Amino acid sequence: AAVRVWEKMARVSKRNPPEWLSTHPSHTSRIKDLKKYAARVYPLYLQAKGLKS
């Protein structure tokens, strides 16, 4: 769900300053990071729920 939120934010944002000028990551970086973290924690989620990954 978080990835979809930031994809929508990226679509409605007119312009983004360079990431190095911002105090927050760009939408693109945030989406990439969320996808990476989700892939890492999903097996742990399944394990905690007692399901196979």
Q: Is 50 helix (H, G, I), strand (E, B) or coil?
A: coil
- 7-39 residue pLDDT tens: 888 888 777 666 777 788 888 899 999 999 999
The Cα 50–Cα 52 span in angstroms is 7
The Cα 25–Cα 20 span in angstroms is 8
C-alpha dist (Å) from residue 50 to 33, 40, 46: 26, 17, 6
Predicted local distance difference test score (pLDDT) of residue 49:
92
The single residue listed with the structure tokens 């312009």 is: 15
Cβ pair 45, 21 in contact under 8 A: no
Q: pTM for the complete prediction?
A: 0.59
Predicted local distance difference test score (pLDDT) of residue 53:
58
In the chain, the DSSP E strands lie at: none
